[in-house]
Structure 1
């Protein structure tokens, strides 16, 4: 007797489509880490209106199909990258990186000073701080500052590495920030909060207005501001000039510091903002207890909504909902299909993995401690139906709306005043690992207003709380609604 299908033996994967509703040739299906999937075909049927003298119905006719549904998961670094890109309909702006896919090819040699690469070396500019991982000599897997580059080489200062002649699959060189020469980077408040330089050219370092950066590396001596320790924190970029990096958000206590004797490190990440580029997928669901295996294919799956939820003492979770074209089942996998493993980063919790919840530009500490935060992205898609097609011929884009809820203790009237007065404010949340390389995701909503909420007095022996609903909208200066930062490396302090 065959085993019945269990949920623990259902595999989910997806591949981006080039043409809506058409599975690419020889698809490379990327595995999806999931906690649930409610995807289905949603057939639309109509009972015939034909009248029979024996009073019986002659047929139930299939007239359409509205494939779609939800997928639930737990937030982990890199796991939600595609989902964020599809939900925001933007495109990740990535810092330069080179990863070896074929042994000794993309990076073919590492001497004491130089990495030889097949292409793309010139994307690494002088002053960039790079992270090397996966190299055979353990001591080579570290942070190193670029001195110069060409299309086929990345050059570092003398005696930076030990020689590695054969570079294995997975070895990576990635920009994770930048580093100034000793005394070159200066903190200032003149003309606004900023870093200034004499030598380093900020316009070459993949910086842009809206990006968050982490100033200072407390793990290494001489890489942070010493006189003004308060400067060593997260800042948001508001302008980039050759010798001035301006900020509109800085840590409390930011002050001028000449950085004497300090080769300051500043950490940066990849960056994503909302736009209007729809992307559709073919989603494959495998029922592995079936013999033979059943393959379900849902095509044209376009991400409509994404909810991210961070509750107290819990795992950060997400739920995404798709609208698509059609679904089918078969016992034969699509021709030429291959598999791409899902990222293996650990799931993130809301206790030790939340580095910051910021409100109105400042870190929320107390007395209005956050109990939960929910973010809802909605593209307001609609399935476009037509005569001659069982499923949708496309999906229509709607208004990009972002809402959410902040549930806090009612420690003072600050939050309540903003609700009553319809005050323009902002919200940001940083969530990431506290171990390893401390990979981190940063959500930023530069312009929000709180449209609902009031103190809740529910009964005796309880805390008074306030659940504030917010709406995010286009920032008048940054010109986007949502920004997401992706940091591959952060120092512990």
Structure 2
């Protein structure tokens, strides 16, 4: 027999759609269930027989599609969930500079502390610029695990100041360096009426993104503004050398010269809807069988994704894949796949820091009970009569990217309902965070398309369920954006 609790789902990114990489490094996915259907498609012969019998069914194609469901946690780079989000958005993450030994010691990061205040890397060090905040983790010596402000860099070095590093000539397999923000010198960063300004730091050199989210202020008093209200979240609307324009500013935002402060600002990676077809091979292993069966699905592309945030519930996701070919085998693609990530599961309400509509947090009297986000790429299978001996489609086509939001609020006033009747464009963003990591979903241009308020029965609340649809936002050139911050204070 097969036990669902002994089912393992593994993943590897494909370079060529439908082709599993040779000797693949599989990574274990986290899930609450899957409904992937890999099966032949058959038809019945129309041949006439005098004995009224039927010939054997004839296979004419193969179906390879279905959903994987899960609970929301931070999408670690290169993990299955992170790659599936890229497939769903049809675009790869725009990541901040990072250096990761990723399982092989002394490979990408080759030294720490042999030269004072210096981490050595194999290549690409110049992507880190002065002012970047770099987070170092996974080193053997505790002193080498810290967050520091980059002072300089070369192609093979990243240099800080007064870091107190311990010499480590072969950093371990888990060693990692990641840009997680930026920091000004004392008094350099100020809060203006429209965002942030600097005297020395060049905002255009930091890799910031229009429509991206920043968290302003560190945990230490010297690393944040004296105006407490300024130490919060905001969205970037324009980037100039000495000025960073922001909207969705924290309530109570005020000008602050930042005198004597080395203000820290945190930012992360971003993905938004694009044009790429990004496939993967998925392998389901039914490990409770005496001889495990492995069902392999190739060319799997995320066609639809649903993300739900509901009061008093775990935040959840469901991604539906559409694929090309597959096989059933008794041999795993990778006998020792990477373990699943362990980042904590996030809950709506408890971990949702803010749900905002038109730049203002939704609150009383229209308290929000649930939000659901859906991305549909309108995929379609392509292919004719194959000549390579395989069964299944040969390619996958994409239609429009349709993004909708379903939101249910208490009907406390007519404010939201009026926007439906007036067809007033608006925007919505959802921020969820836990243990110093965050995801921010941004839908910069939406129009409400449906909604009605009803008194459904005695002793019940009147609710307002609203549906909205995304359209092109000229500022961000997107329907939907997702920011992930690997670390913030």
The alpha carbon displacement at 1:337 in A equals: 6.1
Cα pair distance change 1:119/1:20, threshold 3 Å: closer
Partner of 1:419: 420
Matched positions, count: 478
Partner of 2:186: 182
CA RMSD of the aligned region, Å?
1.6
Contact 2:134 2:179 in 1 (8 A): yes
Matched residue SS, 1:308:
strand
Matched residue SS, 1:490:
coil
Contact 1:64 1:391 in 2 (8 A): yes
The alpha carbon displacement at 1:338 in A equals: 5.2
Q: Distance in 2 between matches of 1:97 and 1:60?
A: 54
* 1:129 has 2:133 as partner: yes
The alpha carbon displacement at 1:170 in A equals: 1.0
Any stretches of 5+ residues in structure 2 without a counterpart? none
Q: Distance in 2 between matches of 1:460 and 1:12?
A: 47
Partner of 1:402: 403
Contact 2:31 2:68 in 1 (8 A): yes
Q: Distance in 2 between matches of 1:16 and 1:97?
A: 19
The alpha carbon displacement at 1:168 in A equals: 2.1
* 1:297 has 2:301 as partner: no
Partner of 1:8: 5
Q: Distance in 1 between matches of 2:14 and 2:117?
A: 42
Contact 1:99 1:107 in 2 (8 A): no
* 1:322 has 2:321 as partner: yes
Contact 1:187 1:257 in 2 (8 A): yes
Partner of 2:266: 267
Cα deviation 1:341-376 (Å, max 9, x = unaligned): 221111111132111111111122322221111011
Partner of 1:221: 221
Alignment of 1:44-443 (within 5 A): 44-78=41-75, 80-101=81-102, 102-105=104-107, 106-110=109-113, 112-157=116-161, 159-166=162-169, 167-189=171-193, 193-217=194-218, 219-226=219-226, 228-334=227-333, 339-388=337-386, 390-433=391-434, 435=435, 438-443=436-441
Q: Distance in 1 between matches of 2:451 and 2:13?
A: 40
Cα pair distance change 1:480/1:73, threshold 3 Å: same
Any stretches of 5+ residues in structure 1 without a counterpart? none
Cα deviation 1:248-305 (Å, max 9, x = unaligned): 3322232222111111111111111110101112111111122221111111211100
Cα pair distance change 1:331/1:135, threshold 3 Å: closer
Q: Distance in 2 between matches of 1:174 and 1:327?
A: 37
Contact 1:115 1:155 in 2 (8 A): yes
Contact 2:210 2:475 in 1 (8 A): no
Instruction: Tell me which stretches of 4 or more aligned residues in structure 1 moved more than 6 Å.
Output: none
Q: Distance in 2 between matches of 1:253 and 1:38?
A: 48
Contact 2:310 2:349 in 1 (8 A): no
Contact 2:143 2:166 in 1 (8 A): no
Q: Distance in 2 between matches of 1:365 and 1:129?
A: 34
Contact 1:403 1:470 in 2 (8 A): yes
Q: Distance in 1 between matches of 2:133 and 2:86?
A: 26
Matched residue SS, 1:471:
strand
Out of 468, 471, 477, the residue aligned to residue 470 of structure 1 is: 468
Out of 7, 13, 26, the residue aligned to residue 23 of structure 2 is: 26
Greater Cα shift, 51-60 or 110-119:
110-119
Matched residue SS, 1:230:
helix
Matched residue SS, 2:306:
strand
Partner of 2:449: 451
Q: Distance in 1 between matches of 2:325 and 2:98?
A: 37
Matched residue SS, 1:87:
helix
Cα deviation 1:452-474 (Å, max 9, x = unaligned): 11223111211111111111121
Matched residue SS, 2:86:
helix
Q: Distance in 1 between matches of 2:55 and 2:82?
A: 50
Contact 1:42 1:68 in 2 (8 A): no
Q: Distance in 2 between matches of 1:83 and 1:431?
A: 19
Cα pair distance change 1:393/1:448, threshold 3 Å: same
The alpha carbon displacement at 1:139 in A equals: 4.2
Greater Cα shift, 449-458 or 137-146:
137-146
Matched residue SS, 1:67:
strand
